[in-house]
Each structure stands twice: as structure tokens, then as C-alpha cells.
Amino acid sequence: MIAGIDHVVLTVRSVEATCDFYQRVLGMRRLDEPNRPTALLFGTQKINLHEVGRTFEPKAKAPTPGSGDFCLVTAVPLADIRASLAANGVAIEVGPVERIGARGRMMSVYFRDPDGNLVEVSEYPA
């Protein structure tokens, strides 16, 4: 029945700080459209951003900055992600470690975004 994930929503303290982080560290693209949430585009998915006090309806029952925990799949070697994290002063909390994802074994690193959301970036073997 379900084919995939189109987007997720993060509630953030600052859209500007969040966009800067994800653009600079992970190469996402920012999309601003009138009367729509700011979005971060990557691959064929996106993250919509709701800033505290400026959310869109409908929304989660208790939107809270820092409550996100999600996994992204890298399009480049995980070593490139680690280098970008290091170059941008982002500490890796865990990893690289082996995990089991939706498609099987993968290598992952975990770190935090400006709101404290736990971000996992993973690489599947070729």
C-alpha cells in the first residue's frame, strides 16, 4: 500500500539557522514559497520546517524543537559526510557503526542539528 516517504516536518527554533545547517553541512536545497512552510529538498524527498510560533495547519499535536530522530541515506561516500561534519565543527555522537536499515546492512554516523534533533546519515554498500 505505501510506496515511500514524501516529506517529514521538523519544528525548529529558527528556520534560518536550520536551513543554514542543512545546506552547509549536508548540501540540501532550500525552497521558499508564499504561504507554505520553508522546505529543505534532497533526492526526491523534503523536510518541511515549522518555526515555533509560526506553524502551519494541520500539525503534530505537541510540536517541539529537538524531538526529531531520523535517518538519511547518503548519495556520496560516508567519508565525505564525515569530512563535511568535521569541516563544519559538527561532532559525531556515534559512528561509524553498522546498522540494519530498510534495505539491509548499512554504515551510519549520528550527530545533532541546531535544535538537538538526532540525525543519522547512512551508506548502503555498493
- Residues annotated as catalytic (active site), given as ranges: 120
Report the interhelical angle of 15-26 vs 78-87 (nearest 10°): 130
Number of H helices, E strands in the chain: 2, 8
Q: To which H or E segment does residue 25 belong?
A: helix 15-26
What is the length of the chain? 126
